[in-house]
Amino acid sequence: MQHASEACQLIGLGRSYGRGASAHRALDGIDLSIRANEFFTLLGPSGCGKTTLLRLIAGFDQPTSGQISIFGEDVAGLPPEDRPVNTVFQHYALFPHLTVAQNVGFALRMLGSPQSEIAASVARMVALVGLEGMEHRRPDQLSGGQKQRVALARALAPGPKILLLDEPLSALDAKLRQRMRSELKALQRETGITFVFVTHDQDEALAMSDRIAVMQGGRVQQLGRPDEIYEAPANRFVADFIGGANLIPARIGSQGAEAEGLGVIPATGEPGAAVTLVIRPERLAILPATQKAKDDLGPLTVVERIYMGNELSFRLEGAAVPLHVTLPRGGLRGALDFSPGDRVALRPEAGAIRVLAS
């Protein structure tokens, strides 16, 4: 039974293409509850199943197995137009011969809404997305960001209970994409509509989401808040996919995790078990090897120094895998600088090392 606070519930959802031994299972037993009024993101690499899942919720495709309910209603077999959802596509799909106002009001006209209602809704949506004064422009007279706003306004005009967004920022340049993240999140808060957002961009997901489902191989690898997924990845795939991470092979010994070139690192586990140590680059301090303390890692050799404006990034060798450290310029942690060839040690922050099964 679906709780009143759930906008969408997926139970045992599966989707296969083809038959027999050649069948491709795009989704494999997805169980998810998406809450009302939240910004929910499906995150993963190409081919992980996130767009397939969005299409099933929208009704553009039907599941091979499992159930989809939206605000307590089983929507099995319902066509897209009979579901309380709307979709913003990657390429916006605006009608080039229609003005901004006509594009925004298109769905309402198709629903047979009175003209006065259409005009009021269009004015409200245009104001909501900040396009006042552009109502009579056509798509070829708009920038990429303005086109995206029109697509959002058009999708919101019929008053859907859930808005599905299929990588809507991917066609924008980096600066505009960053600005639109904030605008999208503000729009979701203002409307109170549940947003289900599909992306392969980790920064987008971390910046905008209330919760994230990280997907790979047609399955949900981890579900949680952005900080939970970043700070406590459930497995090696999530650790590697979300942000930068040092993934260090080690083996549990009598004193802790033994890692080549790094010494013994405090950790518990089955003696002899192979593990992966996860350390984020920004949670490591770097210091001269001559100042190495007992619990520091190394010594290692600096092989590359990368200037990144507000940060310095270092690549170090001497362990089983190259390690990366990111330091802010200036301040206590960025006070020291190093050059290729320097011998250094690393000092992890307290609680910075996570141990995962290999």
What angle in degrees, to the nearest 10, is found between the helix axes of 144-156 and 115-128?
140
At residue 237, the pLDDT reads 94
CATH 2.40.50.100 range(s) for the chain read 246-357
At residue 3, the pLDDT reads 52
At 328, list the tokens. Answer: 């802010």
Residues of the chain with pLDDT under 50: 1-2, 332
Say if strands 194-199 and 162-166 run parallel, antiparallel, or are unpaired: parallel
Cis peptide before 139 (omega within 30 of 0): no
CATH 3.40.50.300 range(s) for the chain read 37-52+81-237
- The Cα–Cα gap between 153 and 133 comes to 15
At residue 333, the pLDDT reads 53
Looking at CATH, the fold of the domain delimited by 37-52+81-237 is given as: Rossmann fold (3.40.50)
The model carries a pTM of: 0.88
Q: How many Cβ atoms sit within 10 Å of the Cβ of residue 351? A: 8
At residue 90, the pLDDT reads 79
At residue 222, the pLDDT reads 97
- The Cα–Cα gap between 39 and 213 comes to 11
Residue range 246-357, CATH number: 2.40.50.100
Residue 46 dihedral angles phi and psi, to the nearest 5°: -55, 135
Q: What is the 3-state secondary structure (H, E, C) of the chain?
A: CCCCCEEEEEEEEEEEECCHHHCEEEEEEEEEEEECCCEEEEECCCCCCHHHHHHHHHCCCCCCEEEEEECCEECCCCCHHHCCEEEECCCCCCCCCCCHHHHHCHHHHHCCCCHHHHHHHHHHHHHHCCCCCCCCCCHHHCCHHHHHHHHHHHHHCCCCCEEEEECCCCCCCHHHHHHHHHHHHHHHHHHCCEEEEEECCHHHHHHHCCEEEEEECCEEEEEECHHHHHHCCCCHHHHHHCCCCEEEEEEECCCCEEECCCEEECCCCCCCCEEEEEECHHHEEEEEHHHCCCCCEEEEEEEEEEECCCEEEEEEECCCCCEEEEEECECCCECCCCCCCCEEEEEECCCCCEEEEC
